Amino acid sequence: MHELMKEYKLDGQFRWITAQTNRARNGELYRYIADTKGAFVQPAFYEAFGLTVVEAMSCSLPTFATCHGGPAEIIEHGVSGFHMDPYYPDQAAESMADFFEKCRDDPSYWKKISDAGIKRINERYTWKIYSERLMTLAGVYGFWKYVSKLERRETRRYLEMFYILKFRDLVSA
């Protein structure tokens, strides 16, 4: 990568940022990158959830992230960010180059993706939403456990019915 930077005279055009351990500084770092109309790239082979993706998008950074795992659900490809397959680096590079070319041709494009990313996070990934869902699930589980008093065999039948009616279709999709 460093040789490509030299060959194409990209010095000063992008930065490698190592893993950050100072959480208070992360938001400031993301803001600085956003202020210079940069982008966040998370090229992991797999990411279970994608907290860095949520953080970057909430700081208004257009985000490119792995299509394997959580970021595939967080990002709406081409709307609020971009999926990339780290197993195909040429396609990922082409996607990033295409994004910055569109930004050069249409200065409002960066803001369009940035705003859509913030909107996506505010609609689905805030602490308020998470805590409300958690409390709802806890309430449903607590109520079900209190009311049902099911034996082990009955519980297993209930879970099998749930799997057959709902989960199996989700897995196959």
Question: pLDDT-based confidence at 103, cuts 50/70/90?
Answer: very high
Mean pLDDT over residues 40-47, rounded? 92
Pick the CATH number of 2-125 from 3.90.180.10, 3.40.50.2000, 3.40.50.720, 3.40.228.10: 3.40.50.2000
DSSP class per residue in 20-39: P--HHHHHHHHHHHHHTT--
Per-residue pLDDT, 99? 97
Q: Residues 8-38: pLDDT tens digits?
A: 888 777 777 777 778 778 888 888 889 999 9
Average pLDDT, the chain: 86
Q: How far are the Cα atoms of 62, 73, 124, 148 from residue 82, in angstroms, in the given order?
A: 8, 11, 17, 45
- Residue 75, φ and ψ in degrees, nearest 5: -95, 135
Answer yes or no: are the C-beta atoms of 51 and 59 closer than 8 Å: no
Q: Where are the domains of the chain?
A: 2-125, 128-172
Q: Residues 116-137: pLDDT tens digits?
A: 999 999 999 998 888 888 888 8
